[in-house]
Structures are given as structure tokens and as C-alpha cells.
């Protein structure tokens, strides 16, 4: 019994340690800092107000260059938008549909079941408009980059007007301390008061960065909250089951002594 308890304690200890906060990480000369996110940890949930503001940042700023093709307009209802609001947002998009009875493709306004419409019809058009660089689809970007949300936040806040002395910048590139190599083809997207938040929150660069990162973290893992609450239920069930089995064991063995 003692051995089992010891093993259990070690296992739980490892579990807790691996979920704990990590120090600032540096990858490929890029720097990003650890931030507090409401969606980290075993009780993690997305901050609904931040998700709404983050959607506004994506829509008014990032969507000019980046798609979000894995998310459908109806998914906005999962994060607190009403059906009317989601319909309105969808209707603003122009979707190419078809072919119709005459074999022609046609344009119509978006519906709830449509995915977010990308700003460019293909990668070539996207590169052509961005100096040869491809703005990646942002649906999975938080999962696809080392550092995840911390990296994205640092990328958004990591621009500087001038590169440090001794660094040669290529034409059309911006200095960013979080981007590996520090030269990025994306011009600084966020500025103080660039947008006016619907809920009146002051729009500092940090605030916009935090909100859009929260929104994109949700886009990359919309099932996060369900996953975490299921995990908690399973843990609770295991604890109860262990207690019950222990009680049964004691009962059975008490008769055999
Ligand atoms: C004017 C167009 C434009 C806008 C607006 C823009 N981006 Fe970009 N973005 C780019 C381009 C071009 C790249 C590719 C950069 C490169 O590879 O050097 C890029 C790359 C990125 C990357 C990938 C970086 C990496 O590690 O590879 C992320 C993340 C990103 N953008 C997020 C955003 C977010 C969030 C917003 C809105 C706040 C935004 N972008 C607005 C053009 C844009």
C-alpha cells in the first residue's frame, strides 16, 4: 500500500509541475515573454469580453491580409454573439458560390454556415499584394508557433521604429524583436487607438494584442473549455472510484483475516 501511495504522489507531483508557469523562452534569437492567460491551467476558460474585442481587432485590422478559414460565422455564437449579430457579420462578406443552373459561379452575401472569407483568392494573389511574402491563415497559428499565445502577443508588441545598430534591414522589412531573424515582411499592424472598441475599453497596443491573441487562441482550439471540463470530471470520477475500490478491498479482506 505504501508503495502505491508513493507512486501516486510522484505521479500527481509530475502532473502539477508540467502544467506550471514556464520562464521566458528564447527561440532562434527571438524573445517572447510569458503572459497571464485566462485560458491556461486546468480550470482555464476564455474571457468572453476579450474574445469579442479580439474578434473586432481581427475583423477591422488583420482580416485585410489574413484569412481564418477554419472558423464559420455560426461559430461566433459559441463565444457569446447573438444569432442576429453573427448573421450581420456573415452578411458583410461576399462569398463566391456556384455553379448555378447555367454553370456559372456567382457572388452572394455570406450566411451563418459559411467559413470566414479569406481576403485573397489564392496564395499568389496574397504574395503579390504583400511584397512577395505570404500572410498565413491565422486559424491555427497559435498552435503552429512555438510559444503559442505568448509568441503572438510578443510579435504584436515587438515592433521598433529602428533596428538596433549594426543590423542591415532589407527593403520593405520591419524590425521585430519576437520574430525569428528579427526581419518581418508584415508592417506593424497595431497602433494606439487604431480601433474604437464597442465596449469602450481603451485601445492600447497591448490591449489589442492581448485581445486578438485570445480570439486566435480560441480559433485554434474552440473545444478547449469542453476538453478541460471533461478532464476535471474524469479526475473526479477516478478519485471516487479509487475511494470506492479501497472501501471494497477493506471489506473483503476484513473477512479473510
Ligand atoms: C498589410 C497586411 C497585413 C496585416 C494587416 C496583418 N498582417 Fe500579419 N502578416 C502579413 C505578412 C505579409 C506576413 C508574412 C511575414 C513574413 O513571413 O515575413 C504576416 C505574418 C503574420 C504572422 C506569422 C508570423 C510567423 O511567425 O510566421 C502572424 C501570427 C500574423 N501575421 C498575425 C497578424 C495579426 C494578429 C494581425 C492583426 C492584428 C495581422 N497579422 C495583420 C501581413 C499582414
* pTM listed for this prediction: 0.88
Ligand 1: which of 135, 139, 176, 182 to mutate, most ligand atoms within 8 Å of CB? 135
Structural domain boundaries, residue 184: 45-66+137-233
Residue 78 lies in a domain: no
Residue 210 lies in a domain: yes
- Which residue has a Cα nearest atom 36 of ligand 1? 62
> Tens of pLDDT along 125-175?
999 999 999 999 999 999 999 999 999 999 999 999 989 999 999 999 999
> Tens of pLDDT along 49-106?
999 999 999 999 999 999 999 999 999 999 999 999 999 999 999 999 999 999 999 9
Residue 199 lies in a domain: yes
Residue 120 lies in a domain: no
Residue 156 lies in a domain: yes
Residue 244 lies in a domain: no
Residue 84 lies in a domain: no
The total of structural domains in the chain comes to 1
Q: What is the rounded CA–CA span in Å between residue 33 and residue 227?
A: 26
Q: What is the rounded CA–CA span in Å between residue 95 and residue 76?
A: 18
Q: Quick one: which atom of ligand 1 is closest to the CA of 133?
A: 12
> Tens of pLDDT along 179-233?
999 999 999 999 999 999 999 999 999 999 999 999 999 999 999 999 999 999 9
Sheet holding 174-176, edge to edge: 159-160, 174-176, 183-184
Note the pLDDT of residue 86. Answer: 98
Residue 31 lies in a domain: no
Return the CATH number at 194.
1.10.760.10
Amino acid at each position: 500500500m505504501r508503495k502505491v501511495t508513493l507512486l501516486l504522489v510522484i505521479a500527481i507531483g509530475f502532473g502539477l509541475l508540467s502544467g506550471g508557469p514556464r520562464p521566458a523562452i528564447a527561440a532562434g534569437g527571438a524573445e517572447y515573454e510569458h503572459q497571464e492567460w485566462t485560458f491556461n491551467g486546468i480550470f482555464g476558460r476564455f474571457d468572453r469580453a476579450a474574445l469579442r474585442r479580439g474578434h473586432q481587432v481581427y475583423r477591422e485590422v488583420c482580416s485585410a491580409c489574413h484569412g481564418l478559414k477554419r472558423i464559420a460565422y455560426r461559430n461566433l455564437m459559441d463565444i457569446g454573439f447573438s444569432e442576429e449579430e453573427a448573421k450581420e457579420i456573415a452578411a458583410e462578406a461576399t462569398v463566391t458560390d456556384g455553379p448555378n443552373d447555367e454553370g456559372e459561379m456567382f457572388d452572394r452575401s455570406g450566411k451563418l454556415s459559411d467559413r470566414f472569407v479569406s481576403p485573397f483568392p489564392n496564395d499568389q494573389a496574397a504574395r503579390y499584394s504583400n511584397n512577395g511574402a505570404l500572410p498565413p491563415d491565422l486559424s491555427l497559428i497559435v498552435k503552429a508557433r512555438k510559444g503559442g499565445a505568448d509568441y503572438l502577443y510578443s510579435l504584436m508588441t515587438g515592433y521598433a521604429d529602428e533596428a538596433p545598430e549594426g543590423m542591415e534591414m532589407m527593403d520593405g522589412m520591419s524590425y521585430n524583436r519576437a520574430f525569428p531573424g528579427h526581419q518581418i515582411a508584415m508592417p506593424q499592424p497595431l497602433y494606439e487607438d487604431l480601433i474604437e472598441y464597442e465596449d469602450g475599453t481603451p485601445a492600447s497596443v497591448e490591449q489589442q494584442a492581448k485581445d486578438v491573441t485570445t480570439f486566435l487562441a480560441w480559433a485554434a482550439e474552440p473545444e478547449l473549455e469542453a476538453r478541460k471540463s471533461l478532464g476535471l470530471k474524469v479526475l473526479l470520477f477516478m478519485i471516487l472510484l479509487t475511494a470506492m475500490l479501497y472501501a471494497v478491498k477493506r471489506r473483503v479482506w476484513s473477512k479473510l483475516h
